[in-house]
Structure 1
């Protein structure tokens, strides 16, 4: 081998290492997650009190991989894969779904916005949910009863395309459409959502719309539909709906160490040929909340919500739900938090049981989204939790 060629090889290797180093500097992949568990007391779950461990109260227990590659010109490729799990058993939170919470890929541009494809949250949740009790008081005890309006992330959409604009003078918009892929009937099983968000100093406002269409192959909400939602004692008589339509608006204002907020939602269950109820059922909810930072490491929050259902499907005394929520946080560090949660809900009136029309039952309280199908056998339910959460 010539002396010249011997000299060129180290030079070529050095150049290759520089190129690889530059490429890696423009690409980032991070592992992240949260773990959360609490000792929980419920005074009445389907007729009996219970003390047990419940995970995912302050934060849902999960892990994920998030990546970004700079493509130049202000454009980046992004992806996010997120899996939920039960901290107390180690089991996946959804059988058969590895990345059950999120799995998407897309492009992001500094001035053109972000386009993503995959399994994602709706703009309805992403823009309004963080301004409600689900965020500031935790969904476990602060979400509206039974998470009836899906503002605590129980709604995730498969096969979805989401476009989100950059923020202009504090105003931002986001739109989603999800394709069910049913040959000859593109509308069945699809999902549509749009939302607006405004953030300016101490003010944050959000408004959003969501429509979940049933693939309508069964009497329930067909699993081939792109959307999924939480079932509770509030809505179990209406899960066979042809479509579910939701509107929501929320806002917060910060005065120094005090944040106050108000929110409203409207949920409609529309019957179809395969539904086991006949008339559109409507749930309206209003809520107020406040959070006060007592010290840099300790803050408290409180909230109230009132949910009322329409008189339909033979119901003359419509269901009504009053919920009071409290929470206390002590931050051991930026990543580790000790917390306590307390909530009480009172229910009146009637709703439909799981058998639909004709199955009129007394409304049962179900605090937040922690007791969706473990409602109280009496008109009141209390839930208390003491727990710990770590972010990594």
Structure 2
């Protein structure tokens, strides 16, 4: 330690001024985000066509802060705070929770890996979702029907502890446990996820597991459970599940200006005491995607997914969904993009309504995650959008 009284005053002032400058050079805080809006057309929302503005269609509208400090010896302190909002009315994505998207702090080391604490994405999403439809096709129209496999952006957990290994020649593993916080019932309301990914040259592959556990009263999924999942008419009969389990795998290969990928996911809604259904409901999802960079500015992408439920809970003609999704983007700059999105979905078969077992209804179409509360009135739905996204 330097004692200012043992050196000339001028030098002491110079040393004191230099100390915070060195510290500042080793740490940083960044403000970032995206503003995104689109004019959308849907041919059938509960029986009527609709023209409307859709916030966050290519990329979720959001802002956040991220930072790091170099601790020396290959170690770093990290943090991230992120909030979502609706560009058309200025409201937060989740009322009463300003940083509902992300809120975590982490300690990372080049040799030993990273430990992250707080509200964060699951390894299942970060590894498998990152090479599924999400990086090529926006969730608004490219997510699989109703985001039934939870591979779009909403796979987060609160009260979570995550450990991720360092990159080991392209191989990396991550596991997360989110504490339910229910006294006397350690497993109630918790979330567990684990995933493995491998990167070699232009090949990316990943497998992942996610289990979200309920701690709610009969007929609902608790808002205090650590994990969340998208709810829509596609899974309305099963949201009272005791637990929801996901297993998924994806691979993506690039050659020249093109990329092609395949993905598979198995989703299981497991009943418990008080659930409104009695048999495990299973949805299998198969997808293929492709992308082509036609020019420096133009990028084209397309995807197809097939989703099928298994027969259970009195449903013999199980629900089936075919979805075709397309995306064209034109980059005005590194941060500003004009885009076009189109998707068409065909639904058939039957499923349970929100009243549960004994209440069988015809399946309805609902493209991606565009209209969870306003599905088609039948088994067909088309959605088209033109929008503008600016990142900062």
- In the superposition, the TM-score normalised over structure 1's length comes to 0.97
CA distance in 1, matches of 2:186, 2:216: 13
Q: In the TM superposition, what is the alpha-carbon distance from 1:218 to its structure 2 partner?
A: 4.3
Moved over 3 A (4+): none
CA distance in 1, matches of 2:264, 2:280: 19
Q: In the TM superposition, what is the alpha-carbon distance from 1:332 to its structure 2 partner?
A: 0.5
Q: In the TM superposition, what is the alpha-carbon distance from 1:372 to its structure 2 partner?
A: 2.1
The corresponding residue for 1:10 is 10
2:332 touches 2:338 (CA, 8 Å); kept in 1? yes
CA distance in 1, matches of 2:217, 2:30: 40
The corresponding residue for 2:28 is 28
Counterparts of 1:119-268 in structure 2 under 5 Å?
119-268=119-268
Q: In the TM superposition, what is the alpha-carbon distance from 1:8 to its structure 2 partner?
A: 2.9
Q: In the TM superposition, what is the alpha-carbon distance from 1:336 to its structure 2 partner?
A: 0.6
- What do residues 309-351 of structure 1 show as CA deviations (whole Å, max 9, x unaligned)? 0111110100000000111010001111110000000000001
CA distance in 1, matches of 2:34, 2:218: 36
Aligned-pair RMSD on alpha carbons? 1.3
CA distance in 1, matches of 2:189, 2:43: 39
Q: In the TM superposition, what is the alpha-carbon distance from 1:217 to its structure 2 partner?
A: 3.5
1:188 touches 1:216 (CA, 8 Å); kept in 2? no
The corresponding residue for 1:68 is 68
CA distance in 1, matches of 2:372, 2:310: 20
Q: In the TM superposition, what is the alpha-carbon distance from 1:215 to its structure 2 partner?
A: 1.1
**How many positions carry a matched residue from both structures?**
389
Give secondary structure in 1 for the equivalent of 2:330.
strand
CA distance in 2, matches of 1:302, 1:238: 30
CA distance in 2, matches of 1:219, 1:350: 20
Give secondary structure in 1 for the equivalent of 2:8.
helix
CA distance in 1, matches of 2:378, 2:364: 7
Counterparts of 1:261-300 in structure 2 under 5 Å?
261-300=261-300
Q: In the TM superposition, what is the alpha-carbon distance from 1:224 to its structure 2 partner?
A: 1.6
| Deviates further, 96-105 or 218-227 | 218-227
Give secondary structure in 2 for the equivalent of 1:128.
helix
Q: In the TM superposition, what is the alpha-carbon distance from 1:46 to its structure 2 partner?
A: 1.1
The corresponding residue for 2:343 is 343
Unaligned residue ranges in structure 2 (runs of 5+): none
Unaligned residue ranges in structure 1 (runs of 5+): none
* 1:95 is aligned to 2:90: no
